[in-house]
Amino acid sequence: MTVDISVYRPGELTAADRAAWSALQARAVEDGSPQLANPFLAPEFALAVGRCRRGARIAVVREDGEAVAFFPFQRTSMGVGQAIGLGVSDAQGLVHRPGFQWDTRELLAACGLSLWEFDHLIEGQKPFEVTASGSYASPVIDVDQGFERYLAALRKQSPKFTRTTLAKERRLGRDVGEVRYVHDERDPAMLRVLTGWKSAQYRRTGRADRFARPWIAHLVEQLFHTRTPSFSGLLSVLYAAGRPVAAHFGLRSQTVLACWFPAYDPDFAKYSPGLVLHLRMAEGAAAEGLAYLDLGRGGKAYKDSLKTRELSVSEGWVTRRHPVALGYRARRAPVRALRNTVQSRPELFEHADRLLKRVGRIRERG
């Protein structure tokens, strides 16, 4: 058997290779690897990142001329590699046919990398997982049995949460006006409303504004306009009396809705419009025949209330023997360790969260 690994810029990938990549994702569900069908692992996401970031590349592994695996990544001139879209991508790894195994050092060498860094590695990537520094929960909402089945399970699992959220939706309709949900909103103006809310939320809570980074803003806009049979950017909006009160932009594959950027109008906070929106998103996803919504890594109270189960994602590095790899890990490891320690200990996280919000209020007043 002849094995070949070729590396391309995203725009150089042929239509046949893109089709083969999508076919591998479609087969993954039947073959027992549903996480490979995540839209962050789709060719459309890699191509969009490639238009926004220099250094985006795709390694195609062929056996006897047939494409059997696709490995999207980013690299610097020094040969440091990262998961494509690192910092905004919520699912990372190598998309491959069932049973395919790879040698990480051979793959890195073929890609010209001394190291590859990941922070949302999906399950089942054993050659990468052996070097992971930690694994973390990524909650999901299962809707493959239909929305009513999910809602019944939610009432049993979180009765007070469910009752309160549905009551707030009814109250929003009484106090403000007719509540209307649009699962697939195509008006670009509503995307701008959402990103405006999200930027304000970042500033208000003392976080770095992702949409202040041009490449992220450009990426989201591109993905909003991307629609193929197996992938699309999905903007969902909750309206009250014709006014948007909550919105979410995520990515959809044939089986998974990857939740990404939710936000709401603070003027309507007492109605919990973000929670109402997530219930309607689950209903819309079920109606489209999707299997689940991936809420993404990270502990949040609303995720714990909405979830039906959890997936696991990992972070870490795979390396070759190279001084650049050693130096990079030496710089990055302490930062990651500190962040994970704070996030895993509620008393530290709450203190850090209060401090960031205080900083955010100072910035707003300034």
Collapsing DSSP to helix, strand or coil, 252 comes out as strand
Residue where the block lists tokens 């990398």: 113
Q: Taking the model in full, what pTM does it have?
A: 0.89
> 74 pairs with which residues across the strands?
56, 82
Residue 361 pLDDT grade (very low, low, confident, very high; cuts 50, 70, 90): very low
Sequence-distant (6+) residues with CB within 8 A of 297 are 90, 120, 136, 137, 138, 313
Count of C-beta atoms within a 10 Å radius of residue 65: 7
Residue where the block lists tokens 């106090």: 175
Over residues 167-218, the pLDDT tens digits come to 999 999 999 999 999 999 999 999 999 999 999 999 999 999 999 999 999 9
Collapsing DSSP to helix, strand or coil, 291 comes out as coil
How close are the terminal C-alpha atoms of the chain, in Å? 65
Count of C-beta atoms within a 10 Å radius of residue 129: 18
Over residues 208-230, the pLDDT tens digits come to 999 999 999 999 999 999 999 99
